[in-house]
Amino acid sequence: MSQIQLYDTLTRSLRELPRPLEGKSFGMYLCGPTVYGPAHIGNFRTMLTLDVLYRSLKALGYPVKFVRNITDVDDKTIRGSRASGQSLEAFTGEWTRKFHEDCSALNMLSPDVEPRATTHIREQVQLAESLLAKGHAYVGGDGSVYFRVNSFSAYGQLSHFDREALRTQETNSAGALNLSDEYERDSVADFALWKAYKPEDGDVCWEGPKDPATGKAIRGRPGWHLECSAKSHTHLGQEFDLHAGGEDLIFPHHENEIAQSCCGYGGSFARHWMHVVHLLV
Ligand SMILES: [Zn+2]
């Protein structure tokens, strides 16, 4: 197999792509679209870059498994479906079809697996429960489940996020920061794994992780970050070769994925991080 070198965001260096683990395909995961409207050329630039890499790896003889997810539940999809008077499923289904039409027009290959967030609720609930059981998560004042960033010492490794600066800022200027929606959390950096049901969610909700204090399932929906950890684990396993996305996902999305996966499943996660920079027009 030929060698490919790519810039790795984690080590900030040009590195040879990892060889697939013994007996496994080269596992690559790309954070795909949120289906609430038309994808733009910046989205497609990232996806086309990964399409070129996928084709190149195949042409060079790598056995590859390419997973690109679809985010079909979040604030934007719920808002859009309610505004259009459609069910969430009908609304996101329509935008997924339009996305696939655009992919075909660009002659992109289909990924091997295209998992949706709403078809992986069970895996996301299990991951949230595992994080609660291990003390990496807690139920906040609003009933949502939050990841405790201070419980993961490696947090910030990908983005070089300055945890000390954040702590100082939190202590010194809590009043000056706009923390109106942050009071439910122990720390401003903590992020939602599972969002407790709100009336604005309409009929979009599932039985979620069990609250350790009451033993009752928390009704609601997954936070955005949780789905990629659960789906990459389901389709590529605990450790896989390449994780990619637009550069805007480095922080907080990918930083949060690392924290969830490493703490919830244990051990390592993606072996190489590839980010596509913004398209400037
Ligand atoms: Zn993602």
Identify residue 108 by its one-letter amino acid code. M
* Separation of CA 67 and ligand 1 centre (Å): 11
What pLDDT shows up at residue 171?
58
What is the domain-level CATH number for residue 264? 3.40.50.620
* Separation of CA 91 and ligand 1 centre (Å): 21
- Count of domains observed in the chain: 1
Average pLDDT, the chain: 93
Question: CB of 65 within 8 A of CB of 25?
Answer: yes
* Separation of CA 59 and ligand 1 centre (Å): 26
- Compute the average pLDDT of residues 234-244: 97
Two tokens, residue 141 = 């004042």
* Separation of CA 228 and ligand 1 centre (Å): 5
Query: What band does 177 get if pLDDT is binned at 50, 70 and 90?
Result: very low
* Separation of CA 187 and ligand 1 centre (Å): 23
What pLDDT shows up at residue 21?
80
100 within a domain of the structure (yes/no) = yes
Domain of 154? 5-276
281 within a domain of the structure (yes/no) = no
70 within a domain of the structure (yes/no) = yes
107-143 residue pLDDT tens: 999 999 999 999 999 999 999 999 999 999 999 999 9
145 within a domain of the structure (yes/no) = yes
35 within a domain of the structure (yes/no) = yes
- Compute the average pLDDT of residues 51-78: 96
Query: What band does 161 get if pLDDT is binned at 50, 70 and 90?
Result: confident
25 within a domain of the structure (yes/no) = yes
Supply the angle between the helices 88-105 and 75-84 in degrees, to the nearest 10.
110
Question: CB of 66 within 8 A of CB of 112?
Answer: yes
* Separation of CA 254 and ligand 1 centre (Å): 7
* Separation of CA 93 and ligand 1 centre (Å): 19
245 within a domain of the structure (yes/no) = yes
Identify the H or E element spanning 233. Answer: helix 224-236
Length of the chain: 281
What pLDDT shows up at residue 164?
67
14-47 residue pLDDT tens: 999 998 887 899 999 999 999 999 999 999 999 9
* Separation of CA 104 and ligand 1 centre (Å): 22
239 within a domain of the structure (yes/no) = yes
Output the pTM of the full model: 0.92
* Separation of CA 68 and ligand 1 centre (Å): 9
* Res 74 pLDDT > 80: yes
* Separation of CA 165 and ligand 1 centre (Å): 26
* Res 1 pLDDT > 80: no
